[in-house]
Each structure stands twice: as structure tokens, then as C-alpha cells.
Amino acid sequence: MNGVLVTGGAGYIGSHVVQQLVARGEHVVVIDNLSTGFRDAVHGAELVVGNVGDRSLVSRVLAEHRVDTVLHFAAHTVVPESVCDPVKYYGNNTCNTCNLLACCAEAEVSKFIFSSTAAVYGMTEAGVADEDTPTRPINPYGMSKLMSETMVRDLSAAGALRHVILRYFNVAGCDPAGRIGHSTPHATLLIKVACQHAVGKCASLSIYGTDYNTPDGTGIRDYIHVEDLAAAHLRALDHLRSGGESLTLNCGYGHGYSVREVIDAVTRVSGRALNVVELPRRVGDLPMLIACSDRLQRVLDWHPRYDDLDFIVRTAFQWELKLSQSVDYVS
């Protein structure tokens, strides 16, 4: 059986994809440097600890496992950090992707699925983006991903592989069975941080901007459960295996929730009042960003299972409770 290589497969999203791939009998190998991933998040797949920028390591893994498909998640993903340290992001996200693609071309890998982001769109006039919306990243993170997208498309145009680029909107939640979850240190994603506060890890929850032109004044985002996102990757793999053409697709639910609506959901699910601190807007934050994901549903026959804010929050909160039993949280 040909192997499937998952880079960054010990991280938050990658580990959920690995779990679904293994569950359906795929031969999976993971490369992860464990800088933000966790060894015990990889179940049923071989973990190779290393960096995708190490061409000799990647080439060896591709050959030993007869890899014909790569799912590439390994990346830095914190927007504010990318603004402060852009070289880190271009080095890890863009240059390492270039190295990985070179190895794939040499090994004649035929299928490539790339983890991209809605940050490639930047500011949109209506707060909604489809795949044809102009890409104008406003931070190095978004630009590093857009540059990687370009490299993937150019390699495909040269005839070396076919690809699916998946642009994530706001990923949240955890495995409903509680086997794996979002354990990334210093996380910045709202639902994760709000649930951390609810279990007592931090004394307050900061929200940035309460004067946007939205119904309650706070920013609106499209939240997609990580399990639904993982399922989209498997549908993308099936599409490529059946001879499907290269694609770029948005991954979201097509509707959004405000920051205050998320806070209300965390309060409902946890049964705990949150200490919310209101702060001014951050530079570069958008009033609203929602996915138009009709193409994903139509072309890949993908249909979400967990499109419910309380369910998303409940799985995230249950994971934080589990972590709190093994980690000393500071209240």
C-alpha cells in the first residue's frame, strides 16, 4: 500500500486528520518537529520527529513509505507573531514548503493537499469571501501561505502533481470522543482561550473591539469544527484519487458568530460566568469574515456534521477540563 505523508500531523488540525485517515485503513506516516505538536496526539501512525525543511529526511521518508500523497499542515499560524517576526514565517511556512515540494517532485508524488487560510483574502468589502475573491493578505502569515499556494499551483502546472488547496476559516472544537484535542501552547483562537478561562487557567478573557459595524459591535467569524474540516481533507484525497482536477476551496459553514455570541455559548456550556475585559481593536482585525463554501459542498460532496456553536464549544470545553486534570492551571 502506498503511504500518505502528513506533515505537522502531531498538531491540532493535523492530528485530527491523521486519526480519520487511520480509522479508514490508510498507511500514514507523520513528520513533525513537535514545536507545537504532541507525540501522544499521533495514534496509529508512525511519527518521524524532524523538520520538513530537512530535504534528506523528507526524501528518505517519501521513499521508505512509498508515499504518493502528501497532506501539508506544518506551519506557524499566529498572526500577531507573524507581524513581529515575519522572517520566521517566511522561513518556516514558505521556504520549508518549497523544500517539501522539491522533494515531492523528485519522488514523483502525484497528489498534494495544502493547508491554507482565509488570511490570504485580507480585507473584503462585504465580509464574505468565495474562492474568486481577490487575495490581499494584510499580514506575513497570510502572505506566507499565499506564496506557498502559488508554488503548489506552479508545480502542478508543470505536470508534476495534482493538488487541492483548502482555505480554512476559524477552526475550533476537538474530537468528540476526547481522544485528542487542541493543546497548542499560547493559543490565540477565541473559543480555545475562552474555554481556558472557563476552567480557570487565566483570570480574565480579553476581547478586542466592541465598536464594529456589526449587530453587537464585536467581530463576526465563521467557525468550523475540526472534525468537519478533517473530513474535508479525506474528501479532497478521494477527489484526487479518482482523477479529479486541482482545486482551491474554502472551508467554513457559510455563516458566522460574533465574539459576544461565542462568549455566551461558553457561558452556557460551562455553567460559569466569564470575566470579560473589553479592549480597543487590534490593528488588522476584520469586522466580519465568512466563507462562501458552496464549491466545497458541491464538488467534494462534503456536508458538515457539527454545524452547531454549542456543540463546537462543548467539545473544546471538555478537552480543557481534561487538560486541567493533568496541568496545574493558575486561576
> Can you tell me the distance from the alpha carbon of 280 to that of 89, in angstroms, rounded to the nearest whole number?
26
- Sequence-distant (≥ 6) Cβ neighbours of residue 130 within 8 angstroms: 250, 291, 292, 294, 295
Beta bridge partners of 225: 172
CA distances from 192 to 228, 306, 317 (A): 17, 17, 8
DSSP structural state of residue 281: P
Q: Is 141 one of the catalytic residues?
A: yes
> Side chain identity at 43, as an amino acid letter?
H
* Distance between CA atoms of residues 327 and 329, nearest Å: 6
Other residues' Cβ atoms within 10 Å of the Cβ of residue 88: 15
- Bridge partner list, 129: 291
Q: Which residues of 225-244 are buried (b: 16+ CB within 10 A; e: fewer)?
A: bbbbbbbbbbbbbebbeeee
For residue 290, which of 239, 223, 237, 227 has the smallest C-alpha distance?
Answer: 223
Name the catalytic one among 12, 90, 121, 141.
141
Residue type, 27: H
Q: Name residue, grid cell 491523521.
A: 18
Give 279: exposed, middle or buried? Use CB within 10 Å, 0-12, 13-18, 19+: exposed
The separation between the first and the last C-alpha atoms of the chain, rounded to the nearest angstrom, is 50
Quickly tell me which residue has 479532497 as its cell. Answer: 236
Active site residues per annotation: 141
